[in-house]
Every structure is written in C-alpha cells, then in structure tokens.
Amino acid sequence: MASSSDRALDRLAALGLLVGALFGLAGTFANSPRVQATLWAIDSVGLVIATSLLTMKYFRAGADIVAAGYLVFAIGESVLLSGTAAGPSASVPAFAAGTALWAASLALISAQRHFPVWLRLLGLGSACLFAITAARIYAGEKLLPTASPLPFFAYPLLVATLLGWAWMLVSSKRRDARGK
C-alpha cells in the first residue's frame, strides 16, 4: 500500500501534468502572443514540477531509465520555458533544443515496460514527431512552435501522453486505496 506521502506526490504530479496538458494546448490555439506566452509559461512550470516529482518517484522505485526520462523531460521543458517570453520567432533555438530533449525523454520513458502498450505507443509516436521537428530546425528550417503540420500535429499526441501519465497516477492511487 502506498504511503500518504506517495499519494500526495502522485496527486501533485498528476495535477502538474493536467495543468501542462491543458495550458499547453490552450497556448497553441491562442491568437495573442502575450496570452500564448503566459499560457505556455504556466504549462511549462506545471510540467517541470510534475516531471521532477516523477523523477523522484521512479528513481525510488528502482526504475532508473524511466526516472532519467522524466529528468530529461524536465530539463527540456525548462529549456522551452526559457524561450517562451521571447515570442514564437525568437524562441526557435530554445524550441529546437526543448523538442529534441522531449523526443529523447519520451523515447526513454516509453521504451520501458512500465506503462500499458497504448500509452507507450502514444509516447513513442510523440517522440518521433518531435524528433523530426527538432531535426528540421537543426537542418536550417525556421519552424515556429505553431507551424503546421509539424509540430502542430505532434501536440495532441503529447497531450494524450501527459493525460495518460496522469491517469496512471490517479488509477494507481485508487488501486492502492482498495488494497489491490
């Protein structure tokens, strides 16, 4: 059975993932650059908190590769946050670095058999799309964070992955409460 400290960590991490998913998606559709930057800053802070907590959770559980994946995600999200206030055009270098780290982290986490296959496939799909996005930017293409088709269509997979991780935290809490 999980301790109350573990349950609190899971709840806080799930909340951070939900904040990141919802505010990140909202920022993608925002028309105003100021509103977009604000929404993405909230998204990033929520995800840095969540993935830092998940790093600790999985490290303590002995799942070092999953823990490392969450650590890399937190670093990538921090890099993305560093460019958010500059606006979409000026943030392209930070966006390239952040999406490259997202891709690596999603691949690390999803390659492990710690999560259901459906969630691992979402994460790996998202990793592939963000790796392509980063590679295109590093090859000299000026892709804004809202460019379509990529990275625009990679975000729904990322959001679904984040929501899946949050669901796993909440559903494991319910299983622990029932003593299963």
pLDDT given at position 179: 44
Identify the residue with better confidence: 172 or 88: 88
For 23-48, give the DSSP string. Answer: HHHHHHH-SSHHHHHHHHHHHHHHHH
Is the per-residue pLDDT at 2 higher than 80?
A: no
Instruction: Determine the Cα–Cα distance for residues 133 and 138; give it in Å rounded to an integer.
Output: 9
pLDDT band at 5 (very low <50, low <70, confident <90, very high): confident
Q: Cis check for the bond before 93: say yes or no (omega within 30 of 0).
A: no
pLDDT given at position 75: 98
7 Cβ contact partners less than 8 Å away, ≥ 6 residues apart: 173, 176
The mean pLDDT of the chain is 93
- Closest to 125 in 3D by CA, of 168, 154, 92, 162: 154
Is the per-residue pLDDT at 124 higher than 50?
A: yes
Neighbours of 33 (CB within 10 A): 12
Helix orientation angle between 4-29 and 33-60, rounded to the nearest 10 degrees: 150
State percent of the chain over pLDDT 90.
Answer: 86
Structure-token match 């809202």, residue found:
146
On whether the pTM is more than 0.85, the answer is yes
State percent of the chain over pLDDT 70.
Answer: 94
pLDDT band at 88 (very low <50, low <70, confident <90, very high): confident
Neighbours of 87 (CB within 10 A): 15
Is the per-residue pLDDT at 178 higher than 50?
A: no
